[in-house]
Amino acid sequence: MLSKKSQYAFKALSYLVEKRNDGPVLISEIAEHKKIPLKFLENILLELKKADILDSKKGKGGGYFFRENPENVKLAKIIRLVNGPIAMLPCVSLNFYEKCEDCNEDHCGLHDVLIEVRDASLNILEKKTLMDLVD
């Protein structure tokens, strides 16, 4: 399940996609239109800025805007950045792998099924971009 933080990130990014041709967007405008707590949104947008997805401009006419073209930003990248692993178990994660305690991956049916779930999810999330979030 996507965390609330991820849901807010996607809401904010979808708003920025809609406003991408209007110049920088104030954080207060995003928060108001998407019903996101301002303090929470500030942290999310800073993470996205540190990852070079967004940039910001201070002062009059300032706000947040895309540094990276939203057509090139895969949804999988955002989920990993904000939410962490896409896989449902750490032993099937590609980027956040951890061996499960007391588990033999060679003979674990759950492991095998969740690899299929991970691969099916990634097949979609690696094809979809931020542009797919808007009509």
The full DSSP string for 56-118 is EE-STT-EEEESS-GGG-BHHHHHHHHT--SSSSGGG-SSS--PPTT--GGG-HHHHHHHHHH
Q: For residue 14, what are its two tokens?
A: 């979808």
Write the single-letter amino acid at 45: L
Least confident of 16-20, 57-61, 69-73: 57-61
Q: Is the pLDDT of residue 60 over 90?
A: no
pTM as predicted: 0.87
Q: What is the pLDDT of residues 76-106, one digit of tens each?
A: 999 999 998 888 888 888 888 878 777 766 7
**Cβ atoms 28, 45 nearer than 8 A:** no
List, by residue range, all CATH 1.10.10.10 domains of the chain. Answer: 4-66
The third-level CATH classification (topology) of the domain covering 4-66 is Arc Repressor Mutant, subunit A (1.10.10)
